[in-house]
Amino acid sequence: MQFRTNPFPGMNPWLEKSWRDVHARLTTYSCDAIQEQLPEDLQARVEEYLSVDEMDEDEVRGRNIAPEVSIVDRSNILGDGDSSGSMFVSEEPIRVLRVRPPQKLRCIRILDSSSGRKVVTAIEFLSLSNKATSAGRRQYLAKQELLEAGVNLVEIDLLRAGGWVMATPQDLYPESLRHPYRVSVVRAENLMEAELYSASFSRPLPTIRIPLRPTDADVLLSLQPLVNQAYERGRYGNEIDYSQAPDPPLTEAEQTWVEAYLQKMGGHHG
């Protein structure tokens, strides 16, 4: 069963497996959509930073998150074999990467050219590098200090895996809005409150109100068209096998809903 367009009304959970590409697309598409709505003296920019991906002692000991191992030098792995056709292993060492190299991530910053390019609003599409390890979580949480500097913070978490890193503590987050995805807006002028949006694969993703300066009207960021655009331009309809469960797996209730929905869409599709 294949779908050239995103078959889900909301987020497609199969896209999480290809998040590096999807993340880059969503960041770029969002920046373009926001730019069109900004006052002339504000500019939206995509910025890059290197993620921290080291495991701490507990993670290494428990192997909760295994580092990727990549072969660096394959030339000495196997010999040419002997006359009997058997292969032999060279005595030379084989060099591999034992830790992940830093990953380059992207975020959006809205800058005020009338105030020396001061950052007005920060927009983050979260990645596993922000959520999956203690070091990554610490690095991301440090970025939330922008709020204390008078910067609005928009957090968009379309990944079910990883720990909680939203600016609003998990125990203060309404249960109905914690799963499966999360969207939050914290305005620098009112740090006591957060504006939370429902985000799922069973209904369209929200249109977010992006705050700017106190004297500016909010601009709107509609997430659903951006996810659909990433699916289509990334040609994920040619790649995704919907007969295989997404990674990470869904809950039992979610899986039941997804299977029934895809069967219905497959009938309409075919």
For residue 119, list its beta bridge partners. Answer: 111
Digit-coded pLDDT (tens) for 216-250: 999 999 999 999 999 999 999 999 999 999 999 99
Q: What pLDDT, on the 0 to 100 scale, is given for residue 64?
A: 37
Query: If DSSP states are collapsed to H, E and C, what string results for 218-261?
Result: CEEEEHHHHHHHHHHHCCHHHCCCCCCCCCCCCCHHHHHHHHHH
Of 216, 200, 198, the C-alpha closest to 208 is 198
Do the domain assignments include residue 82? no
Q: What percent of the chain has pLDDT over 70?
A: 82
**pLDDT at 66 > cutoff 50:** no
pLDDT band per the 50, 70, 90 thresholds, residue 87:
low
Do the domain assignments include residue 263? yes
Do the domain assignments include residue 198? yes
Q: What percent of the chain has pLDDT over 90?
A: 71
Tally: H helices and E strands in the chain: 6, 10
| CB-CB contact of 172 with 200 (8 Å) | no
Sorted by sequence, the CB contacts under 8 Å of residue 209 that are 6+ apart come out as 185, 195, 218, 219, 220
Domain that holds residue 259: 13-61+97-269
Q: What pLDDT, on the 0 to 100 scale, is given for residue 77?
A: 44
Do the domain assignments include residue 7? no
Do the domain assignments include residue 225? yes
Q: In the predicted model, what is the mean pLDDT of the chain?
A: 86
Digit-coded pLDDT (tens) for 140-183: 999 999 999 999 999 999 999 999 999 999 999 999 999 999 99
The SS3 assignment for 126 reads coil
Query: Which amino acid, one-letter code, is at 223?
Result: L
Digit-coded pLDDT (tens) for 208-218: 999 999 999 99
| Span 26-53, average pLDDT | 92
**pLDDT at 86 > cutoff 50:** yes
Do the domain assignments include residue 70? no
Count of the separate structural domains present in the chain: 1
Do the domain assignments include residue 79? no
Q: What pLDDT, on the 0 to 100 scale, is given for residue 177?
A: 95
| Span 82-110, average pLDDT | 70
CB atoms within 10 A of CB 195: 15
Do the domain assignments include residue 91? no
